[in-house]
Amino acid sequence: MPENTNTKIGYENDNDTSYDITVGDISSLEVVKAFFDAYNNKDLQAVYDMEHDDVLFYTPSGKTITSRQEHLELGQEFMDNNSIAKWDIVWSMSGQVNYPENPSENWVTSGVLVTTGNEDETTTISRVVDLQIVDGKVKKGYVYQRQLAASEGNTPQ
């Protein structure tokens, strides 16, 4: 890790306590890149292999995914319904949340443009994906999304 790993880049508030976020493990950025590359290659087995057995995802719809097997099945269903599916990382950064009495956590937060649909029509949405990386694998994820404005190019293709 670089020498400036103690540089404070933000904070996390939990109830009445604030925790420093410092520069995170830069190698985790490659884990996240490989994760989305696997999706772009429609290699759901590779996605599965990059997740802990008990991976936990919180989706924009409010659904909770509680295992990599469930994520694999939902991913296959998604791919079956979207012949065009592409994830483009626009930006990504790694942060370390430092808890004084618990192990610190490495999170990679990425802005991702997701294009889905079929040969007749596609739609692109913007997502912020926050992935906790533990031992080089995805442990937990929060996914937030919004529709792109027409001025951002969100017109059916």
Domain boundaries defined on the chain: 12-147
Burial letters 86-103, b for 16+ CB under 10 A, else e: bbebeebbbbbbbeeeee
Question: In CATH, what is the architecture of 12-147?
Answer: Roll (3.10)
Per-residue pLDDT at 4 = 61
Per-residue pLDDT at 6 = 84
Q: Is the pTM of this model over 0.95?
A: no
Rg (CA), the chain: 17
Is the pLDDT confidence value at 59 over 80? yes
